[in-house]
Amino acid sequence: MKKLNGKIFSAVLLVLVLGACGPEQESSTAEPADEQAAEESKELNTIELPKARTAESGEAISYGFTADKSSGAMTSFLELALNDIHNFWAELMVQEGHDMPFVDYILTYDGETEATNCTAAGSTGPDDAFYCAEEDLIVFANELAMDLWESEAAPNGDPEAGADAANFAVVVALSHLYSHSLQGEWGWLPAEADQERLAAVKGTELNAECLTGVWAQSAYGSDMLEAGGVESTMETLSGVGQHDLAEDKNHGTPAERADAFMTGFESAMATSCDAYLGSGDASGQ
């Protein structure tokens, strides 16, 4: 298990360049009424992401990351992406007077399991990707990430599947999980199993999708989200969610999740996502 905090691990150079932040950001101000004011901000310590060399005259350079069915390569990609996501939100939260965010994470290799209190089996599996509020832990199975990359895993069991967005589909899923850890930082997710939720499941899911859109705006134009990447992501999100909303703990329809993502992406403001926590619907904004 590794911990992601203000002093982040060194990343392996993967000929992948991540973009700088986009428009000026504002962190979410949606906190439970009984929360006290945030403590003094802590010193920010982020990593310098690798820079790509400039192509010589007549030379073509590919900066894309190619999955090679290597657990080590995929894990390195996930760690680099997680660093970019964390650095974006850490800077934003410190600027707004929040504590430096931190979260544990497990990126399991193929065939590897880790103990956790957040699964019925008591351990992780090859298809797991979730945030455990009780342990403040992100779990993302290497095997699942590879399957998502190669479109071998459908977003859910619904017949209407989304299109392949390759590497960004994996990163969007990772960013969504990190957004849940932010909700934990802000007090919206219960830290104990017997604690009452302050927002409905659907609200926290759509809020996380919206926050993912905010981060995606910062990555726009980079090799991680090239031109057309938003469209591919939207097609992928069209297969994520529940078409049958009879279940109590629904995560929103594909259209609702896609709309939430675009709300965050187009506004580039975390505060645009606050309304989902209150009602599960930001259409009134």
Q: Over the stretch 97-136, which tens digit does the pLDDT of each residue have?
A: 888 888 999 888 777 788 888 887 777 888 888 899 989 9
Residues 6+ apart with CB under 8 A from 63: 15, 16, 17, 52, 223
Total domains, the chain: 1
Q: Is residue 59 part of a domain?
A: no
The reported pLDDT for the residue numbered 5 is 43
Q: Is residue 61 part of a domain?
A: no
Q: Is residue 49 part of a domain?
A: no
The reported pLDDT for the residue numbered 207 is 95
More confident residue, 34 or 186: 186
How confident is the model over 27-55, as pLDDT tens digits?
554 555 444 433 433 344 433 333 333 44
The reported pLDDT for the residue numbered 228 is 57
- Name the phi and psi angles at 75, rounded to 5: -65, -40
Q: Is residue 38 part of a domain?
A: no
Residues 6+ apart with CB under 8 A from 45: 6, 7, 8
Tokens matching residue 178: 């990190």
**What is the mean predicted confidence (pLDDT) over 253-262?**
87
Say if residue 285's pLDDT is above 60. Answer: no
Nearest to 105 by CA among 175, 39, 207: 175
The reported pLDDT for the residue numbered 225 is 60
Domain that holds residue 135: 2-6+69-279
Model's pTM, two decimal places? Answer: 0.71
**What is the mean predicted confidence (pLDDT) over 254-274?**
91
Q: Is residue 34 part of a domain?
A: no
More confident residue, 161 or 6: 161
Tokens matching residue 280: 């599960």
pLDDT band at 151 (very low <50, low <70, confident <90, very high): low
Nearest to 108 by CA among 143, 63, 61, 68: 143
Q: Is residue 203 part of a domain?
A: yes
Q: Is residue 232 part of a domain?
A: yes
pLDDT, mean over the chain: 69
Helix locations, the chain, DSSP H: 71-95, 142-149, 166-185, 201-219, 229-237, 254-267, 274-279
More confident residue, 135 or 159: 135
Tokens matching residue 202: 């659907």
Q: Is residue 229 part of a domain?
A: yes
